[in-house]
Structure 1
Amino acid sequence: MSASSHSPYVTAMADPATYAPDLAQIEQLARAALERLPPAFRAHLADVVIRIDDFADDATLDEMGIDDPFALTGLYSGRPIGDKSSSDSGALPDIIHLYRRPILDEWAETGVSLEALVTHVLVHEVGHHFGLSDADMHALEDSAG
């Protein structure tokens, strides 16, 4: 019998539930949140890219005047639907960025479920895509929760 077969440390390390969710798991939560949005919203999100990174890059943080990379959990890059026109050919796709490490820190600090937190950040960024007010975003989040 090897020493490692009875070590609680080795057993715990082998259990994936002991690790923080990775980029793919955060993406799964985000895609599930998208699926819970009302169909009228989902129809306009088919071409929006969902991108999960550990942190925003330095250029983004600098552009936004943010010193602490943990202060930004999500970002919408693109033009709101109401600002688009048929002359927008060649434009980059709209992107919703979710930043894993700041989301995980907020999850640990608040005790809010990770699913609820990812949904909250995603819905906020979807709101920017649609040019919604904060009140509209809260109503949308309630429907996706």
Structure 2
Amino acid sequence: MDEIKKQDVKAFAYLDAINKEKWTASHDGGWRCGILTTNISECINGVLKGARRLPVSALVEITLERTVHYFHMRAMKGKKMLQNNQLWTDFACKMFISWQQKAVEHTVTKYSHAQQSASVVTRCQGRHGMNTHVVKIANRECSCGK
């Protein structure tokens, strides 16, 4: 803001009057302008890769062709997965398998419905001892810090 003020006092006054949560990435808590906008920008950049500095009509045509191809390829992949009775993507399956392997090392020993908390014993293969952690479900917290 100091840099804007140095460049143009009227522009600074205009922007300063607007709630900063509405137009800055630094004050939005990461919701509106953070990762979501970045992902959309990266997606568009991926579609337009190699199409810089072309006439507008060529950009529109390339964008349409590449978008149609993008959705066609994913639709074909989805049909193939359904024909093979695969309900989850390969990426999701790898995540579920990884989580399942980690979950085997955890055992719930106590659960309090009233306090919405549980005591979980973790045992890591190749390591000595067992650790007990308290999971507070309502707060989404664990005493292990994860």
- Calculate the TM-score normalised by the size of structure 1: 0.21
Flag the structure with higher helix content: 1
Q: Which has the higher contact order (CA 8 A, sep 6+)?
A: 1
Flag the structure with higher strand content: 2
